Amino acid sequence: MRYLTAGESHGPRLTAIVEGLPSQLPLGKADIDPWLRKRQGGYGRGRRMVIETDEVQLMSGVRGGVTTGAPLTLDIENRDHRNWTEIMDPAAGNWPRKKALTDARPGHADLTGGIKYRHKDLRDVLERASARETAARVAVGSVALKLLSELGIEGANFVRQLASVQVNSPFSWDHLEAIENSDLRTWDEDAAAQMRELIDQAKVGGDTLGGILEVRFRGLPVGLGSFAHWDRKLDGRIAGAVMSVQAMKGVEIGRAFENAARPGSGVHDALYLDAERGYRRETNGAGGLEGGMTNGEELIVRVAMKPIATLMKPLPTVNVVTHEASDAARERSDTTAVPAAGVILQCVIGWVLAEAVLEKFGGDTLPELQERVAAARAYAAEY
């Protein structure tokens, strides 16, 4: 499978083309739009999310509610574009430009992107660097999640930490509903209240906040990915996908950083053979991956997101046209997007898992894939 996304943050639309999906996968707007709406949510987001009501149009690859095996085209409108038509017009004159951005924002792609692509209006960098692009990636990832769900694989995402507030209580799959109903994507209401307070303070102070997200998947068959060559190791592929999301700066499988301080006896998961359940572990220190492969336990991925780069109380910078010292540009922005990031991460990890499923099991159609996954599960249980 492969996909490509295109579209600017304030251009007319975002488009993705997905190729390599099996046919006969039930798919419709109702499988994608809820993910787009979730990505827009979360306490601390800016006014842009009031303007947008993201929904997908399926332009190709689906007929009669199932995939045909042809490339899928997913299209999302940028409602805000109507406020930017003149500025975003590809035929508009060059310099001087309306709304040109020349005070590079530290922490954003502005300065480096401007040097790299030789733009002096750093809006030409911002437009594609922006995490608006993640709407397209969520649409794509939600299709992967649908495929996984047809194979009995289920995911979850939630906020583990926002700024200094941590959620320390263990996650349970029974928390899913509470997470979906929470504007901080957590089941812990006390922690959520503290987070809201910090976000309010940051907003008043013109500052921004980051945090830690956790994504889990259960029901994964044994042996997705491979130990045999570096680019097929699933931990590397997951880390790559996760780090490709705007503002993600750290990733661990399970409690990797905590495990680093422990002896092996306190980390590795002893193996037992159970007459009913087959091979089993009583712990999951590995976070579901051993040797670059799924080991059948829950996959646990944690990701650190940096605070949003655009500050309403701006940092010192340089104007790239006048070369004079100035304050960084103050663009409309989120105070935090940590809850939204969990949704994006579940989608991009879901894509990697779906890709690994298709590599291992192949199949032009969903029923063939389902048969093969069932056979592999039966083999693993008997092994």
Among ligand FMN, ligand EPS, none, the one that 132 touches (CB under a kind-dependent 5 to 8 A) is ligand EPS
Distance CA 372, CA 304 (A): 36
Residue 45 is assigned to a ligand binding site? yes
Report the nearest approach of ligand EPS to the CB of residue 44 (Å): 12
Which residue, among 241, 251, 253, 243, has the nearest Cα to 351 in the 3D structure? Answer: 241
Cβ proximity to ligand FMN, 280 vs 330, nearer residue: 330
Cβ proximity to ligand EPS, 105 vs 216, nearer residue: 105
Of residues 323-362, those binding ligand FMN (CB under 6 A): 333-334, 337, 340-341, 344
Among ligand EPS, ligand FMN, none, the one that 109 touches (CB under a kind-dependent 5 to 8 A) is ligand FMN
In sequence order, the 6+-apart residues with CB closer than 8 A to the CB of 278 are 380, 381, 382, 383
Distance CA 234, CA 217 (A): 14
Distance CA 66, CA 26 (A): 4
Among ligand FMN, ligand EPS, none, the one that 245 touches (CB under a kind-dependent 5 to 8 A) is ligand FMN
Of residues 41-80, those binding ligand FMN (CB under 6 A): 46
Among ligand FMN, ligand EPS, none, the one that 9 touches (CB under a kind-dependent 5 to 8 A) is ligand EPS
Exactly one of 241, 247, 329, 348 binds ligand FMN (CB under 6 A); which one? 247
Residue 306 is assigned to a ligand binding site? yes
What does the radius of gyration of the chain's CA atoms come to, in whole angstroms? Answer: 22
Residue 309 is assigned to a ligand binding site? yes
Backbone angles phi, psi at 10, to 5 degrees: -110, 15
Residue 22 is assigned to a ligand binding site? no
Cβ proximity to ligand FMN, 12 vs 250, nearer residue: 250
Burial of 318 (0-12, 13-18, 19+ CB in 10 A): middle
Among ligand FMN, ligand EPS, none, the one that 341 touches (CB under a kind-dependent 5 to 8 A) is ligand FMN
Residues at the annotated binding site for NADP(+)?
A: 39, 45
Binding residues for ligand FMN, rule: CB under 6 A, are 46, 108-109, 129-131, 134, 245-247, 306, 308-310, 333-334, 337, 340-341, 344
